[in-house]
């Protein structure tokens, strides 16, 4: 039997073979297909008892039966506890994105407010990314807008600097932020280190939720300034109090004693699942964001929410309390795993009444509205895809559209690029690029032939069943590029892939595009046609991606030096040569004696350098 052909019996046989060596211990397991790709990641308190369930295929849902049929091998990792196995499972799902697991698709990082810990003049800034540099971080905020608004008000209240260290060190006079009363100008000595440290301490206390003492302190300072008739200072304190009151404003929200908590509310609309995350930090609402997990299949709402939270909190630190609209099937296990992740106690609760239930009801409403918006967008997208199918004579609306473009400058650093779109919009994880190797890099037709040969030869080898083949291919180019692509597909024996070329009109302006398709006369669409806008957007995204890849490649090439290709020239010797001669060109023009005069360059190495540049080696 060809193991590349899915077989439920063969998959079951593989799992039975693995069972013979499985321990009765907690851990994580991975199902792999014939190519070594991860199909599914799971965890278990007892690996042997859990994995044996996959051999009882008549009791499995259709989704997992298909997974077993594709399984050709398994990988096992044991852990000390089931909670550790759950964390490992979530991390592996995030890494491999298996096709049979529930997936958190939108895993973009959230912005935070960052406050330095070191130095006499800490600064306050927006931060997105890793938080492992020893600074203090407050958040998350659901959007850049939310964190920017908070930073603006914090600057008005606490007058902390936000400039870079280089700018700070080279100031000769206060900047504009000082003039508009949003910085205390420590760069030019307008405040003492002790007074600035007090401002930093106040800002930290406020970000941690302690604002009452700060407000009383500001009020006392304003009164004292007024009593000594320093009305300008009193007005400054008044403005800071007003800014403080602005950021303290709350909607009608009762959090009880909790200052830091998240809400997670799930709403299902048919096959679409929306999860609304709402964040509160230091007693203040820092925003919310909707997520639409993929591959939810036949899982229950509670299972989907639990899988989502496990993956979500692999990237974002969990707060002390997470309120959920559905109780997790293994609530205690998830609580233990999140506590392990946070290195402190994390509570999970699904309240049924009271103020917290009211908060969840509002979050559920937001989840429902997000799902309705998504469905409306999907319906629009579905109509566009149906119109595309009608326009190009396809049998059904395309589920996968591939768009190809090339980019180079006078043949240099040539790349081919492919973007993918479908019912969910752009599928950026499926984008691909190719460095042009064989074709002359000023031959656009040759480059297109090379890209198509490499793309579809690989597809024939890796995906003979065409599970991820395009239903429509768009090429940025005219009849020449279209013909080049058709020739390659014919040479490979590939048929049934609809090809369309998109070329700009005589003035190369948007709205005058020509569409080229085999067996049809070239045609245009009316400038206001919605399908034209959609196809332009696809073409422009492919162009953007190709240009971006080309620029990155060109940038890497610019930073390279001819010295990099010479054996024995490492970073230190390269630096010494460049410092001595001023440039790589200077090195290439130097004689053997001059080269040997450089520290670290022996006469033998100097001769090798000379031979390299003069072709005598």
Is the pLDDT score of 507 beyond 70?
Answer: no
Instruction: Mark whether 470 and 594 lie in a shared domain.
Output: no
Instruction: Mark whether 69 and 131 lie in a shared domain.
Output: no
CATH number at residue 298: 3.30.420.10
| 384 falls within a domain | no
| 438 falls within a domain | yes
- Contact between 568 and 605 (Cβ < 8 Å): yes
| 25 falls within a domain | yes
| 87 falls within a domain | yes
Rounded Cα gap, residues 199 and 184, in angstroms: 10
Q: Which of 32, 63, 96 is the last residue of a domain?
A: 96
pLDDT at 127: 87
* 561 or 73: which leads in pLDDT: 73
Instruction: Mark whether 569 and 550 lie in a shared domain.
Output: no
Q: CA angle at residue 612 from 609 to 613, to 5 degrees?
A: 95
Q: Which of 542, 557, 572 is the last residue of a domain?
A: 557
Instruction: Mark whether 295 and 340 lie in a shared domain.
Output: yes
Instruction: Mark whether 289 and 336 lie in a shared domain.
Output: yes
Range list of H helices, 493-529: none
Instruction: Mark whether 118 and 186 lie in a shared domain.
Output: yes
Instruction: Mark whether 534 and 424 lie in a shared domain.
Output: yes
Q: How many domains does the chain have?
A: 5
- Contact between 303 and 242 (Cβ < 8 Å): no
Instruction: Mark whether 325 and 420 lie in a shared domain.
Output: no
Q: Any idea which of 211-225, 365-379, 386-400, 410-424 has the lowest mean pLDDT?
A: 211-225
Is the pLDDT score of 210 beyond 70?
Answer: no
Percent of the chain clearing pLDDT 90 (strictly above)? 32
Q: What is the pLDDT of residues 146-176, one digit of tens each?
A: 778 778 777 877 888 888 888 888 888 888 8
* 341 or 205: which leads in pLDDT: 341
Confidence of residue 62 (pLDDT cuts 50, 70, 90): confident
CA 68 from centroid of its chain's CA atoms: 30
Confidence of residue 387 (pLDDT cuts 50, 70, 90): very high
Rounded Cα gap, residues 113 and 162, in angstroms: 11
| 349 falls within a domain | yes
DSSP character for 284? E
Is the pLDDT score of 311 beyond 80?
Answer: yes
Instruction: Mark whether 519 and 441 lie in a shared domain.
Output: yes
Instruction: Mark whether 131 and 165 lie in a shared domain.
Output: yes
* 389 or 234: which leads in pLDDT: 389
| 59 falls within a domain | yes
| 83 falls within a domain | yes
Q: CA angle at residue 425 from 112 to 419, to 5 degrees?
A: 95
Show Cβ contacts of residue 143 under 8 Å, excluding neighbours closer than 6 positions.
111, 287, 289
Q: What is the pLDDT of residues 75-122, one digit of tens each?
A: 999 999 999 999 999 989 988 889 899 888 765 678 888 888 777 888
Confidence of residue 252 (pLDDT cuts 50, 70, 90): very low
CATH number at residue 606: 1.10.150.20
Range list of H helices, 393-478: 444-462
Cis peptide before 140 (omega within 30 of 0): yes
| Residue 489: both structure tokens together | 């597909």
Rounded Cα gap, residues 521 and 110, in angstroms: 50
Instruction: Mark whether 336 and 467 lie in a shared domain.
Output: no
Cβ atoms within 10 A of the Cβ of 607, count? 15
Show Cβ contacts of residue 204 under 8 Å, excluding neighbours closer than 6 positions.
115, 136
Is the pLDDT score of 239 beyond 70?
Answer: yes
| 171 falls within a domain | yes
Instruction: Mark whether 120 and 76 lie in a shared domain.
Output: no
Q: Any idea which of 14-28, 32-46, 200-214 has the lowest mean pLDDT?
A: 200-214
Show Cβ contacts of residue 512 under 8 Å, excluding neighbours closer than 6 positions.
504, 505, 506, 524, 527
Give the chain's length: 617
Rounded Cα gap, residues 425 and 401, in angstroms: 10
Domain hosting 519: range is: 401-557
Q: Which of 329, 355, 372 is the last residue of a domain?
A: 372
Q: What is the pLDDT of residues 485-504, one digit of tens each?
A: 999 999 999 988 999 999 87
């Amino acid at each position: 039997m060809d193991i590349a052909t899915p077989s439920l019996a063969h998959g079951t046989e593989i799992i039975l073979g693995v069972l013979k060596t499985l321990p009765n211990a907690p851990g994580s397991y991975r199902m792999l297909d014939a190519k070594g790709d991860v199909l599914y990641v799971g965890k278990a308190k007892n690996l042997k008892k859990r994995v044996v369930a996959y051999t009882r295929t008549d009791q499995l849902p259709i989704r997992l039966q298909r997974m077993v049929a594709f399984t050709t091998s398994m990988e096992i990792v044991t852990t000390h506890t089931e909670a550790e196995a759950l964390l490992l499972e979530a991390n592996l799902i995030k890494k491999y994105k298996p096709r049979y697991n529930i997936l958190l698709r939108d895993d973009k990082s959230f912005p935070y407010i960052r406050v330095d810990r070191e130095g006499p003049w800490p600064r306050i800034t927006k931060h997105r990314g890793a938080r492992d540099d020893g600074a203090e971080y407050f958040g998350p905020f659901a959007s850049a807008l939310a964190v920017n608004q908070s930073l603006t008000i914090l600057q008005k209240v606490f007058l902390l600097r936000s400039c870079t260290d280089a700018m700070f060190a080279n100031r000769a006079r206060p900047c504009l932020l000082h003039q508009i009363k949003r910085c205390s100008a420590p760069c030019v000595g307008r405040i003492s280190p002790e007074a600035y440290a007090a401002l930093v301490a106040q800002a930290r206390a406020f970000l941690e939720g302690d604002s009452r003492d700060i407000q009383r302190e500001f009020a006392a300072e304003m009164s004292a300034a007024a009593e000594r008739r320093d009305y300008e200072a009193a007005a400054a304190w008044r403005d800071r109090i007003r800014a403080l009151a602005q950021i303290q404003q709350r909607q009608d929200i009762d959090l009880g004693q909790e200052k830091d908590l998240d809400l997670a509310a799930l709403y299902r609309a048919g096959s679409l699942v929306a999860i609304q995350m709402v964040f509160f930090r230091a007693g203040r609402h820092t925003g919310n964001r909707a997520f639409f997990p993929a591959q939810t299949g036949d899982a229950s709402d509670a299972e989907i929410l639990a899988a989502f939270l496990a993956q979500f909190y692999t990237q974002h630190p969990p707060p002390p309390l997470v309120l959920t609209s559905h109780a997790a099937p293994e609530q205690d296990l998830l609580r233990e795993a999140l506590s392990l992740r946070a290195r402190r106690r994390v509570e999970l609760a699904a309240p049924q009444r009271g103020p917290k239930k009211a908060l969840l009801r509002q979050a559920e409403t937001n989840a429902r509205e997000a799902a309705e918006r998504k469905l409306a967008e999907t319906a629009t997208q579905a109509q566009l895809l149906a119109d595309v199918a009608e326009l190009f004579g396809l049998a059904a609306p395309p589920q996968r559209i591939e768009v190809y473009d090339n980019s180079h400058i006078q043949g240099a650093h040539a790349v081919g690029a492919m973007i993918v779109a479908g019912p969910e919009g752009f599928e950026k994880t499926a984008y691909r690029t190719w460095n042009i190797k064989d074709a002359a890099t000023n031959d656009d037709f040759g480059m297109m032939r090379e890209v198509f040969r490499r793309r579809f030869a690989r597809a024939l080898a890796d995906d003979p069943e065409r599970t991820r083949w395009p239903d429509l291919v768009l090429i940025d180019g005219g009849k020449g590029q279209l013909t080049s692509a058709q020739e390659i597909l014919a040479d490979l024996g590939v048929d049934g892939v609809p090809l369309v070329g998109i070329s700009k009109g005589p003035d190369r302006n948007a709205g005058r595009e020509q569409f080229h398709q085999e067996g049809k006369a070239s045609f245009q669409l009316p400038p206001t046609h919605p399908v034209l806008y959609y196809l332009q957007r696809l073409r422009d995204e492919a162009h953007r991606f190709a240009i971006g890849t080309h620029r990155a490649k060109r940038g890497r090439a610019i930073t390279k030096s001819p010295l990099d290709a010479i054996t024995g020239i490492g970073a230190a010797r390269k630096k010494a040569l460049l410092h001595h001669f001023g440039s790589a060109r200077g090195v290439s023009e130097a004689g053997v004696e001059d080269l040997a005069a450089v520290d670290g360059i022996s006469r033998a190495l100097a001769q090798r350098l000379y031979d390299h540049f003069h072709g005598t080696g």
